[in-house]
Amino acid sequence: MRGLTSTIVLVLVLAGLGGYIYFVDSKRPEPGLGGDTATAKVYALEVDTINEVKLTYNGETSLLRKSDSGWAMVEPVQTEADPAEAISLVQALVNLELVRVLDENPGDLAPFGLAAPSIAVEFKGAGVSGSLKLGRKTPTQGEMYAQKNGEKAVFLVSSSQDSTFNRTPFNLRDKKILKFDREKADTLTLARAGQSMTLARTGSEWRVTGPVASRSDYTTVEGLLSQLSSANMSTLVTSDGKDLAKYGFDQPAMSVTLGAGSAKAVLEVGKTEGGQTYARDAARPLVFTVDTTLQDELNKGFDAFRKKELFELRAFYVTRLRAVLDAPGGPKTYELEKVRGEKPTDGESWKVTRVGGASHTADAAAMDDLLAKLVALKADTFVDTKTKTGLDKPALVVSASYDEGKFERVRFGQVGEEAFGSREGEAVVARIDKASMAAAMKAFDLVVMPPEPAPAPATTDKAGEKK
C-alpha cells in the first residue's frame, strides 16, 4: 500500500512540474506582441577564435580541429572535415541567442531533457572555452531548454538550434567522392564493359581523342565534371576497404579517370542494389553510395559525349557555300555567295552560280530556310567502321566559309532509307534522321533552281485581238 502511495505522489509531483513548465512557457509573450523580447548572445565569441569543437549527438561524438590548412576531423576517424559544416557549427555558437532564463537553480533536470541531453557541445579557442547542452523542446515547440558552461541555470534558445547541432560524424566529415582540381583537369577517360572513351582538353575546349577522334559535346562533358567535382557521398557503407567484391568492385561496372598532368584520380562504380549505386575513390579504402543525379550522368552512353551537330556554322555569319550534289548525269557543283548591292542602301543577297553555267539571285526566304536546315542536321547515333554509309560516293558535299576565315566541309551519304554524315578531319560517322536529310536536300533544290522567267506581256494585232 505504501508503495502505491509513493508512486501516486511521484506522478503528481512530475505532473505538477510539467504543468509548471508548460504554464511558465505558454504565458511568455510571443516576439513582437508587446512583451520584453530583447535577446542576448549566449557567448561572447568571434568566429576566428574557435579552433576546436567537440559535438555529441545521440551518443555519437565528433571532434573537429582547425589548423592553418583548414578544419579536420580528429575523432572518431582522422580525415578532412566538411568545411561548410564546421564553419556552420562555429557560427551557430557565436550567434546563439538566449531567449530568457527559465530557472536559475532547477532541482531536477530530467523534465527539461538536460539530465542526459541528446546534444552536447564543447569548444576551445584562443583564450576561450565553453560548453552547451540542449534538451527538449518546449511544449509550444518554439524554443528548447539549454545550459552552458556547467552552470545550473536553465535557459531557452530557439528550437531551430536542434537542426543546427544534430550532426553525426558522417555529416561533419568530408564527403567529396573524388579529389581533383577541376581547373587543372586535362584528360578524362570513361571505361565501361570493355570499351573506353578518352577526351583531352586544350585551353577551354574538350575533344574526344579515342577510340575515334571528334568534337565533344561541351554541355555533357562539363555536366559530368561538375557532378564529379561537387558530388558528395549519399551514405558511407564501409571505410576498411575489405571485401570489395561484395560491392561489385572485382569487376567495376564503370570507371572514370581524371588526369591533371601526371596526377590521376579514379572513380570506380560498382553494382546497384535497391536503387543504391556503390562507388569508391580508388585512392581511398572507402565504399560509399552516390545519388541519382550522378548516377544519371555516369549512365550516359559514350555517344552522349560527342557533339551531335554536323555544322559549327551559325546562319547569320555564313558568307559562302559550295555544294556538290550527286545527280544522274553526274555531280553538279554550285557556288553560293553573299553579296551586297551596288548602292550603299542596298541590302545583302545570295548569288547562286552553277559551275560552268548561269547565275541567279536566290530567294531570300528559301536561302534562310536552307541555312536553318543545315544547322539542324545532327547525329541520332554514331556508327562503326563496318556500317555501309554511302560516303564513298557522297549524295551531297557542303563546304562553308563563315565568321571571318572559318571553314568546314561535311559529306553526306545515303544507303537505302538511311542517311549519314561525316565532317572533314573527323573519322566518326553520324547516322542522321532521314526526314531532316530529305528536308535539307529539298531546300537545296529550291535555292539552286533558277526562278522561272516571268511570262511575256500579251500583245494585240491590228484587229485588236490578243496574240
What residues make up the domain containing 212? Answer: 182-305
Q: Which of 229-233, 265-269, 339-343 has the lowest mean pLDDT?
A: 339-343
Same domain, yes or no: 109 and 212: no
Same domain, yes or no: 228 and 145: no
Q: Please, which residues have CB within 8 angstroms of residue 133's CB and are 6 or more apart in sequence?
A: 114, 117, 119, 120, 121, 146, 147, 148
Same domain, yes or no: 272 and 337: no
Measured distance CA(40)–CA(148) in Å, rounded? 14
| pLDDT tens profile 147-156 | 999 999 999 9
Cα separations in angstroms, 440 against 45, 58, 121, 365, 432:
71, 67, 70, 14, 11
Yes or no: say if 355 and 333 are a contact pair by the CB < 8 Å rule.
yes
Number of H helices, E strands in the chain: 8, 29
State mean pLDDT over 163-174.
96
pLDDT of residue 160: 94
> Biggest alpha carbon distance in the chain?
143
Same domain, yes or no: 131 and 231: no
Measured distance CA(382)–CA(308) in Å, rounded? 9
454: in domain: no
Q: What is the mean pLDDT of the chain?
A: 89
Yes or no: say if 408 and 424 are a contact pair by the CB < 8 Å rule.
yes
Same domain, yes or no: 295 and 326: no
Beta-bridge partner residues of 128:
125
| pLDDT tens profile 228-242 | 999 999 999 999 989
Same domain, yes or no: 423 and 377: yes
Backbone angles phi, psi at 193, to 5 degrees: 50, 45
Of 431, 429, 428, nearest in space to 210 by CA: 428
Distance of CA 333 to the CA centre of its chain: 46
Measured distance CA(92)–CA(86) in Å, rounded? 10
What is the number of structural domains in the chain?
3
Residues of the chain with pLDDT > 90, as a percent, come to 80
Strands 70-75 and 79-80: antiparallel
pLDDT of residue 450: 79
pLDDT exceeds cutoff 60 at 24: no
243: left (phi over 0), alpha (psi -120 to 50) or beta: left
Residue 265 grid cell: 584520380
| pLDDT tens profile 355-397 | 989 999 999 999 999 999 999 999 999 999 899 999 999 999 9
Q: What is the residue whose three cell numbers read 530530467?
A: 110
254: in domain: yes
164: in domain: yes
Residue 430 grid cell: 553520324
pLDDT of residue 13: 42
Same domain, yes or no: 124 and 237: no
pLDDT of residue 340: 85
2: in domain: no
Q: What is the residue whose three cell numbers read 577517360?
A: 189
Same domain, yes or no: 301 and 338: no
Q: Which of 34-38, 97-101, 119-123, 235-239 has the lowest mean pLDDT?
A: 34-38
Yes or no: say if 421 and 412 are a contact pair by the CB < 8 Å rule.
yes
Helix (H) or strand (E) holding 353: strand 348-354
State mean pLDDT over 40-62.
96
Same domain, yes or no: 56 and 143: yes
Q: What is the CA radius of gyration of the chain?
A: 37
426: in domain: yes
Same domain, yes or no: 299 and 367: no
31: in domain: no
Residue 132 grid cell: 552547451
| pLDDT tens profile 198-207 | 999 999 999 9
Last residue of a domain, one of 305, 327, 345: 305
pLDDT exceeds cutoff 50 at 247: yes
State mean pLDDT over 336-357.
88
| pLDDT tens profile 61-81 | 999 999 999 999 999 999 999
Measured distance CA(148)–CA(96) in Å, rounded? 11
Residues of the chain with pLDDT > 70, as a percent, come to 88
3 state DSSP class of 185: coil
pLDDT of residue 461: 62
10: in domain: no
Instruction: Pick 263 or 18 by higher pLDDT.
Output: 263
pLDDT exceeds cutoff 70 at 10: no
Helix 364-376 to helix 434-448 angle (10° resolution) is 150
Same domain, yes or no: 290 and 356: no
Same domain, yes or no: 270 and 377: no
Please report, for the domain that includes residue 124, its CATH number. Answer: 2.60.40
Beta-strand (E) ranges in 87-162? 97-98, 100-103, 119-125, 128-137, 143-148, 154-158
pLDDT category at 31 given cuts 50, 70, 90 is very low
Beta-strand (E) ranges in 149-243? 154-158, 187-192, 195-202, 205-210, 214-215, 235-238
381: in domain: yes
